[in-house]
Amino acid sequence: MPKVYNWHLGRQMDYRFENGKAKRQFAAVFNINRCIACQTCTMACKSTWTFSPGQELMWWNNVETKPYGGYPQHWDVKILALQEKANPGGQVWNTGQKDPKSAPYGTFEGKTIFETADGVNQMVTGYIPDEEEWKAPNIYEDTATRAPKEGTSLPEHSGWFFYLQRICNHCTYPACLAACPRNAIYKREEDGIVLIDESRCRGYRKCVEACPYKKSMYRPSTRTSEKCIGCFPRVEGTDPLTEGLPMETRCMAACVGKIRLQGLVQVGDDGQWLEDRQNPLYYLVHVAKVALPLYPQFGTQPNVYYIPPRWVPRDYLHQMFGPGVEDAIAAYTNPSRETLAVLQLFRASQQIVFSYKWEQGPKVGEVTVGGQKRELFNDAVIGFDRDGREIVRVTVQEPLIERPGQLNSI
Ligand code: SF4
Ligand code: SF4
Ligand code: SF4
């Protein structure tokens, strides 16, 4: 089986195909700390793409309540258990040696879902959820681990839950693609978006079984599988709103909590991100190191990154996001001036921001965070489109706008 380089794991791994030729990659950062589970993203996707017969249980975007919730139910617990069974006690990280770009989280010494499969009968370790498990996009909504009798405080709450926002990760090494016996799934060169060719699909559900995130779904009315398409017409810039310029997807653009930032990053032949410091996604993942991949140990090199929730027990987060958790929470809790500025870009524009500039502003106050005093500056961040034109300018301090004394006719 060919070897490919997976920088999330800090090592090479087995994968059915050679590295793809994607030059740019669809990627996003989700800030879990800010999500209010309003499900506006979920409905934005549903009302655009999955409102037809046979798609009733299909939520390409869903927001679930952790630790008990899941769509399909218990998807991650089940995959983790399968992996543990295949490699008992061996699913561990070695954080002794890191490299900022090629092994930022150390080396995963366990086995990926490609490496625990036998490669003959099964290309990828996985399972097919039954219909019951698909019935609720946010089962156990707002259910905490326990109700604390007295108040609780950071760094770890004694009773806790959080919302996990999920779409297809448009993985660099998609499990769905590796498992498809019809070669009906492909990854686009221009943006790394992973699509199913419906005319080739015969509904064998190998992709449903293989995707560890369970983001490929079966549609009984057509007997084919379907999945998030990364709103590719918007990313291509064919939506009339932006006059030919790439635009963020429906679920991103609709986000009420301003937790999502999506864009395109540059990728090299080995699947690693090319240095592009002024790209906000590159900055958050590789420079500030505030955003982490979801279950990197599965091995698909997913392209949605998460700013972990500050109040959740670290061993739970470590299992979910890998060994970068402590650093990411520290970087978010006490952000540098530049990080604070870049975080203001979330939902500031519907167009994709390809690069940014940080401009220093005056000191406007002091705050104490975690017992540490810090100064607050009203810095600005400017976002630029694909052609280098300014599309947005925001400041750390929100401007105060007073309504005129006279109301309008409504
Ligand atoms: S729209 Fe944003 S804030 Fe609302 S549930 Fe979705 S991700 Fe969370
Ligand atoms: S998240 Fe699942 S469906 Fe999406 S590309 Fe990765 S393996 Fe395929
Ligand atoms: S990117 Fe588009 S297709 Fe995918 S979940 Fe979001 S809205 Fe749905």
For a substitution probing ligand 3, which of 215, 251, 260, 352 has the most ligand atoms within 8 Å of its CB? 251
**16-20, 118-122, 320-324 — which one is most confidently predicted on average?**
320-324
Q: What is the pLDDT of residues 197-229, one digit of tens each?
A: 999 999 999 999 999 999 999 999 999 999 999
Length of the chain: 410
Task: Quote the pLDDT of residue 147.
Answer: 81
Q: What is the pLDDT of residues 395-406, one digit of tens each?
A: 999 888 888 887
Across 151-163, average pLDDT:
92
Model confidence pLDDT, tens digit, residues 222-251? 999 999 999 999 999 998 888 889 999 999
| Residue in 255, 182, 194 with CA at minimum distance from that of residue 227 | 194
| Domain 3-336 in CATH 3.30.70.20 | yes
User: Per the structure block, which two tokens stand in for 272?
Assistant: 């690693």
Query: How many CB atoms within 10 Å of residue 72?
Result: 24
- Residue 183: pLDDT above 90? yes
How do beta strands 216-219 and 224-227 pair?
A: antiparallel
Task: Give the tens place of pLDDT for each residue, 35-90.
Answer: 999 999 999 999 999 999 999 999 999 999 999 999 999 999 999 999 999 999 99
Whether residue 145 is predicted with pLDDT greater than 90 in this model: the reply is: yes
Share of the chain above pLDDT 70, in %: 99
pLDDT value at position 103?
A: 97
Residues contacting ligand 3 via CB (< 6 Å)? 44-45, 49, 60-61, 167, 228-231, 249-251
Q: Is the CB of 27 under 6 A from ligand 1?
A: no
Residue 193 near ligand 2, beta carbon < 6 Å: no
Q: What is the average pLDDT score of the chain? A: 95
Per-residue pLDDT tens over the stretch 18-36: 887 778 999 999 999 999 9
Give the pair of three-digit tokens for residue 326.
């402590």
Ligand 3 centroid to Cα of residue 217, in Å, is: 14
Q: Is the peptide bond before 67 cis (omega within 30 degrees of 0)?
A: yes
Say yes or no to pLDDT of 409 above 70. Answer: no
Peptide bond before residue 72 is cis, with ω within 30 degrees of 0: yes
The predicted structure's pLDDT at residue 372: 84
Report the separation in Å between the CA atom of 208 and the middle of ligand 2, taken as the mean of its atom positions.
9
Average pLDDT score over residue span 279-295? 98
Q: How confident is the model at residue 91 (pLDDT cuts 50, 70, 90)?
A: very high
- Of the candidates 22, 29, 62, the one whose C-alpha atom is nearest the C-alpha of residue 353 is 29
Which ligand number lies closest to the CA of residue 249?
A: 3
- Summarised one tens digit per residue, pLDDT across range 330-367 is 999 999 999 999 999 999 999 999 999 999 999 999 99
What pLDDT digit, counting tens, does each position of 311-320 carry? Answer: 999 999 999 9
